[in-house]
Structure 1
Amino acid sequence: MKRLILASVLVLFSLAAQASRPAADEAVFVEGARYSAVLDSQGRAWRLLPAGGRDLSLRVSGECHAGSVPPRGLWLLTQDAQGRPELVAPSATALPAGHSGRIRVVACGQPAPQGTLALPAGLVQWLQQNSGSIYVAR
Structure 2
Amino acid sequence: MPAAASARSGARCCSRCSARRSRSSPGRTGSRASRAAGVPCGQVRSVGEAIRSPEARERRLVTRIPHPQVGWVPNMALPIRYSRTPIADPVAAPTVGQHTQEVLREALGYDEDRFAALARAGAFGPPAERHEPAGTPA
Is the pair's TM-score, using the shorter chain for normalization, greater than 0.5? no
Bigger radius of gyration among the two: 2
Task: State the TM-score, normalizing by the size of structure 1.
Answer: 0.21
Task: State the TM-score, normalizing by the size of structure 2.
Answer: 0.21
